[in-house]
Amino acid sequence: MSSNPDLNPDFEPNSDLRETDLSGALDASANTDATANGDLANEDSRPVESLSNWFEQAVQPVAPETARAYMRNYYMMVERAAATLNLDPHFVTIDDLLAQLHDDTTITVGTKNTYASAIAWALKQPDFDFPPAVREHGLALVRNFNPHGGPAQEVTRNSRVSARTIPQEDLGPVLNALLGARITKQAWATKTTSWLNAGIATGARPGEWESAYWFDRDRRILRLPNAKLRKRAPFRWQHIPERLLNRADADLASMAEADLENISIVVAAAKRHSELLARNLAFFDEAEAGTDSSNAEAIDTLRRLRAWELHNAGLAWRDIEVPVRWIGAVDAHLTNLQQYLTSEPGRYGPPTFKRYYDGCRTALRTACLEAFPDKRLYSLYDTRSTAAANMQATLGAEAAAAVMGHYMKRKRTIKANYAGPDRAYRGAGRFAPGLADTQNQRDQAADRSADHVGQADAGGLGGAPAAPTGDSPAAG
């Protein structure tokens, strides 16, 4: 029986259960292998999911990984408040949590926002034991919470500086220090050398390498996962590409056919869930045949939920063209990582990506301390900002944003958070990747173009032109 109150109106949200069941996490490695023709894995061969199971997952406000982080943060705040106030954790109130968060001088405003979001998430979970009045009061408090209203932060932490790069004059000393490092069983210095070069050549986030693979090595096309995607469609997403609507219609019809007994429950749940602003779409005949016309809004909601999932599925991967001179570095990094992850468990446990990352991070820190008398340090994430500088100097800010996986293509994002072209390497064109010409990228460009046209027709400002290809002349 579902614990989602939309799907199961008889479910009692104030039950004895204290934690949400979050076992259905996404599989990060579900699409790490290219198919024979180089396209994304064919979803038509997968078993058809029932409509009710799909809807329960589709209406979740955040991704499973984010939900787990929110749950950890929420329980951490409860335990900390209980210790401070000398209370049993069961007697800690939302007022207590927000008061302590307001007065905390050891965390940043951004962290306060994150913790407040965790409190709001917990209040919305049906399996958390909150009386209705407490939920309503708590959500009102969170909405009115001002993270800027408390005392200024007094503790300065050693955190990474935004837009930090590895200067070209520093890259050589770091690589030389890694080359001269002590040989270990895992050869972390060698692995780190490949990672540094591959990171600068691609702009990939460190965590994206776990699922990266050659989409078409002969064409130097590397497929990378986009690590940051918005779970829910924005309200302004009114001009949905027809391609996605057609696929959404077909998918919903198949899921409904596999779950006939729950169609009416899902439609009723979609009515309650619906918060969309525009109701001007046509509805597919199969779904409307068994319902009255008042269900149009609910069916619209289902279509949009599915279309946004398909939209995100297309954005989940980006295809970039690796510079010729860096093919070997990317090859070496992918090979080193794959060999490590498939190796036998060691004395400290099975090989994982986190262990690989920690090993390389430690080796890089040691090399920096060896190379620079002033003890300045660089991180593996700095390779991404370094690549951003090279790409902006070569392709421009808009194309660079697309290559780096900023699917909204906001130039202000790349300019505000990454190094600019003024810090690019000499001959940056030899280092900068481009956006590959693949069906995946063409579909993304078409969807953005459709959204742009729709906004222009509606009198909006637009601002979402087709994705650049990265074929503009090099600037340096």
- The closest alpha carbon to 435, from 475, 464, 394, 383, belongs to 394
**Which amino acid is it at 345?**
P
User: Are 435 and 321 within 8 A, CB to CB?
Assistant: yes
Q: Report the distance separating Cα 81 and Cα 77, nearest Å.
A: 6
Largest CA distance in the chain: 76
User: By percentage, how much of the chain surpasses pLDDT 70?
Assistant: 70
User: Tell me: the pLDDT tens digits for 181-190?
Assistant: 777 788 899 9
Six-digit token string for 436 = 């590959």
The whole-number pLDDT of residue 448 equals 66
Residue 474 has pLDDT above 70, yes or no: no
Residue 282 has pLDDT above 70, yes or no: no
The whole-number pLDDT of residue 183 equals 76
Please indicate whether residue 3 or residue 177 has the higher confidence score (pLDDT).
177
| 464 band by pLDDT with thresholds 50, 70 and 90 | very low
**8-state DSSP, 214:** E
Is the entire prediction scored with pTM above 0.85? no
Q: Report the distance separating Cα 202 and Cα 432, nearest Å.
A: 7
Strands laid side by side in the 221-225 sheet: 213-216, 221-225, 317-321, 434-435
Please indicate whether residue 244 or residue 397 has the higher confidence score (pLDDT).
397
Six-digit token string for 241 = 């590409």
Classify burial at 339, counting beta carbons within 10 Å of its beta carbon; exposed 0-12, middle 13-18, buried 19 or more.
Answer: exposed
| 407 band by pLDDT with thresholds 50, 70 and 90 | low
Domain regions of the chain by residue span: 61-144, 168-229+317-438, 242-315
Instruction: Please tell me the least confidently modeled range out of 286-300, 366-380, 390-404.
Output: 286-300
What are the start-end ranges of the H helices in 282-373? 285-289, 296-315, 327-341, 353-371
User: Are 345 and 456 within 8 A, CB to CB?
Assistant: no
Residue 91 has pLDDT above 50, yes or no: yes
Residue 163 has pLDDT above 70, yes or no: no
**Which amino acid is it at 316?**
A
Instruction: Please tell me the least confidently modeled range out of 37-46, 243-252, 418-427, 431-440.
Output: 37-46
Which CATH code of 1.10.287, 1.20.81, 1.10.443, 2.40.30 fits the domain covering 168-229+317-438? Answer: 1.10.443
User: Tell me: the pLDDT tens digits for 9-58?
Assistant: 343 333 333 322 323 322 333 333 444 334 444 444 456 777 777 777 67
The whole-number pLDDT of residue 90 equals 87
Average pLDDT, the chain: 74
Q: Averaged over 166-187, what is the pLDDT?
A: 87
User: Tell me: the pLDDT tens digits for 107-141?
Assistant: 888 889 899 999 998 998 877 888 889 989 999 99
- The closest alpha carbon to 468, from 313, 248, 318, belongs to 318
Q: Report the distance separating Cα 9 and Cα 24, nearest Å.
A: 22
| 459 band by pLDDT with thresholds 50, 70 and 90 | very low
The whole-number pLDDT of residue 26 equals 29
Most confident of 40-44, 66-70, 367-371, 436-440: 367-371
Please indicate whether residue 322 or residue 297 has the higher confidence score (pLDDT).
322
The whole-number pLDDT of residue 255 equals 82
User: Tell me: the pLDDT tens digits for 301-344?
Assistant: 787 778 877 777 777 888 999 999 899 999 999 999 999 999 98
Which residue is listed with tokens 């036998």?
344
Instruction: Please tell me the least confidently modeled range out of 289-293, 347-351, 408-412, 418-422.
Output: 289-293
Beta bridge partners of 221: 216, 321
Please indicate whether residue 297 or residue 144 has the higher confidence score (pLDDT).
144
| 360 band by pLDDT with thresholds 50, 70 and 90 | very high
| 152 band by pLDDT with thresholds 50, 70 and 90 | confident
Q: Averaged over 139-154, what is the pLDDT?
A: 85
Residue 357 has pLDDT above 90, yes or no: yes
Q: Report the distance separating Cα 66 and Cα 55, nearest Å.
A: 19
Q: Report the distance separating Cα 414 and Cα 425, nearest Å.
A: 17
Which residue is listed with tokens 């995607």?
229
251: left (phi over 0), alpha (psi -120 to 50) or beta: alpha
User: Are 399 and 472 within 8 A, CB to CB?
Assistant: yes
Q: Averaged over 348-356, what is the pLDDT?
A: 89
The whole-number pLDDT of residue 470 equals 36
Q: Averaged over 283-292, what is the pLDDT?
A: 41
